[in-house]
Structure 1
Amino acid sequence: MTAWHARRAALRWLAVCAATVAMPAWALRAAAEPQVQLSQEQSRAFQAWMLRIVNAQIERGPSPRWTHRDCAGLVRFAVNEALTVHDAKWLRANGIASDRRLPPELELDAKQAALRNRWIQTGGKVGHFVTALALVQHNSRFIAREISQALPGDLLFFDQGDEQHLMVWMGARIAYHTGTVTPDDNGLRTVDIKELTSWKDTRWQPVVNNPNFAGVFRLAFLS
Structure 2
Amino acid sequence: MRRRFFHRCAAAGAAALGVALAGPVRALMPTQSAPDPDALTPAQSTIFRAWFVRIVDQQMRRGPTPRWTQRDCAGLVRFAAVEALREHDARWLKANGMNGAGDASRLPPELQLSPQQRTLANRWTRIDGSVGAYVSAIALIQRNSRFISRDVNQALPGDLLFFDQGDDQHLMIWLDRYIAYHTGIVTPTDSGLRAVAVSDLMQWKDSRWQPFDGNPNFVGVFRFAFLTP
TM exceeds 0.5? Answer: yes
The more displaced of 37-46 and 181-190 is 181-190
Alpha-carbon offset, residue 72 of structure 1: 0.2
How far apart in 2 are the matches of 1:173 and 1:39?
26
**Equivalent position of 2:27 in the other structure:** 12
- Counterpart mapping for 1:82-93 below 5 A: 82-93=84-95
How far apart in 1 are the matches of 2:97 and 2:226?
27
Alpha-carbon offset, residue 99 of structure 1: 1.2
Q: Quick check: 1:136 aligned with 2:141? A: yes
- Counterpart mapping for 1:199-210 below 5 A: 199-210=204-215
Q: Quick check: 1:104 aligned with 2:109? A: yes
**Equivalent position of 2:168 in the other structure:** 163
The more displaced of 127-136 and 111-120 is 111-120
Q: Deviations over 1:55-76 (max 9, x none)?
A: 1111110010100000000000
Instruction: Name which structure has the greater RCO, CA cutoff 8 Å, separation 6+.
Output: 2
Alpha-carbon offset, residue 111 of structure 1: 2.3
Alpha-carbon offset, residue 13 of structure 1: 2.6
Counterpart amino acid of residue 28 in structure 2: W
Contact 2:39 2:226 in 1 (8 A): yes
**Equivalent position of 1:40 in the other structure:** 42
Contact 1:168 1:175 in 2 (8 A): yes
Structure number with higher helix proportion: 1
How far apart in 2 are the matches of 1:172 and 1:93?
26
Contact 2:162 2:218 in 1 (8 A): yes
- The structure 2 residue matched to 1:183, chosen from 159, 177, 188, is 188
Counterpart amino acid of residue 114 in structure 1: T
**Equivalent position of 1:49 in the other structure:** 51
Task: Mark the runs of 5 or more structure 1 residues left unpaired by the alignment.
Answer: 15-27
**Equivalent position of 2:199 in the other structure:** 194
**Equivalent position of 1:77 in the other structure:** 79
TM-score normalised by the chain length of structure 2: 0.86
RMSD (Å) for aligned C-alpha atoms: 1.7
Contact 1:206 1:215 in 2 (8 A): yes
How far apart in 2 are the matches of 1:165 and 1:38?
26
Q: Quick check: 1:219 aligned with 2:224? A: yes
How far apart in 2 are the matches of 1:32 and 1:160?
31
**Equivalent position of 1:116 in the other structure:** 121
Alpha-carbon offset, residue 9 of structure 1: 7.5
Contact 2:68 2:79 in 1 (8 A): yes
Alpha-carbon offset, residue 80 of structure 1: 0.3
Contact 1:84 1:116 in 2 (8 A): no
Task: Mark the runs of 5 or more structure 2 residues left unpaired by the alignment.
Answer: 1-18
Aligned length in residues: 207
Contact 2:23 2:166 in 1 (8 A): no
Contact 1:33 1:141 in 2 (8 A): no
How far apart in 2 are the matches of 1:194 and 1:108?
36
Alpha-carbon offset, residue 161 of structure 1: 1.1
How far apart in 2 are the matches of 1:158 and 1:116?
22
